[in-house]
Amino acid sequence: MAKRTKADLQDHTPASPRDRIIDALMALASEMHWDEIDLPAIAARADVSLAEFRDYFPSKGAILGAFSKRIDGIVLREPADEMADEPADQRVFDVMMRRLDALTPYRAAMRRIARGLMADPLAMAAMNGVMLNSMRFMLASAGIDTEDRLGMLRVQGAVLIFARVQRVWFEDEDPGLARTMAKLDRELKSAGRAIRMAEDAERLSAPFRGMARRLLCGVTGLGARRRARERDLDDTVKA
């Protein structure tokens, strides 16, 4: 009998309850509408009790957050060194296409989930928060600054771009994803122009922001000196 290697043993390691719950939700989402999926159905598909389910997740939205984090990990583990010398838009193009590649086995589920979330503004807002976290790491992996004054604009812009591109991807049956890539290219070019305009505005407004800070400090200091003089006068009168 051939000796089983460590890799063989890892391949046959049973999935954790957490992973089974994530997989159960995505499997159910590929079969039925988002609002038809309830917690008992997820627990049954994952072969866990509701009590065990609750130990891992409080809601379907939380499971989606964990699924997104799983996809983040798949993308981030892929080396992107070969793109290091490419322009910024090409680096972002590459990381977003790699994210879509990682999502490909779940495309039917993602299509149904997206349609279901569109009817629920609160769920959409929560999902936007999940995607902000994901896109912060996607942009970081592409060498894009997300921590400067315009960082949040870049991250939110990436979320919007990915959502728009994903809608095309849902219906793109071409194995080469020509429509999807064309849409992503257009969106990134448009976003690049918007970011450059924001960066120009940021540079032009920098002197005025400094002047406003100095003026504010001067007014604050003047007020403090006035209050100090009033206290001195009060002390003199009381004396």
Q: What is the pLDDT of residues 204-228, one digit of tens each?
A: 655 554 555 565 555 455 555 566 5
Residue type, 101: D
- Residue 127's pLDDT is 92
Residue type, 52: E
- Residue 236's pLDDT is 56
3-state secondary structure the chain: CCCCCHHHHHHCCCCCHHHHHHHHHHHHHCCCCHHHCCHHHHHHHHCCCHHHHHHHCCCHHHHHHHHHHHHHHHHHCCCCHHHCCCCHHHHHHHHHHHHHHHHHHHHHHHHHHHHHHHCCHHHHHHHHHHHHHHHHHHHHHCCCCCCCCCHHHHHHHHHHHHHHHHHHHHHCCCCCCHHHHHHHHHHHHHHHHHHHHHHHHHHHHHHHHHHHHHHHHHHHHHHHHHHHHHHHHHHHHHC
Low-confidence ranges of the chain (pLDDT < 50): 1-10, 209, 219
pLDDT digits (tens, 9 = 90+) for 84-118: 789 889 999 999 999 999 999 999 999 999 999 98
Q: Is the pTM of this model over 0.85?
A: no
- Residue 150's pLDDT is 86
- Residue 51's pLDDT is 97
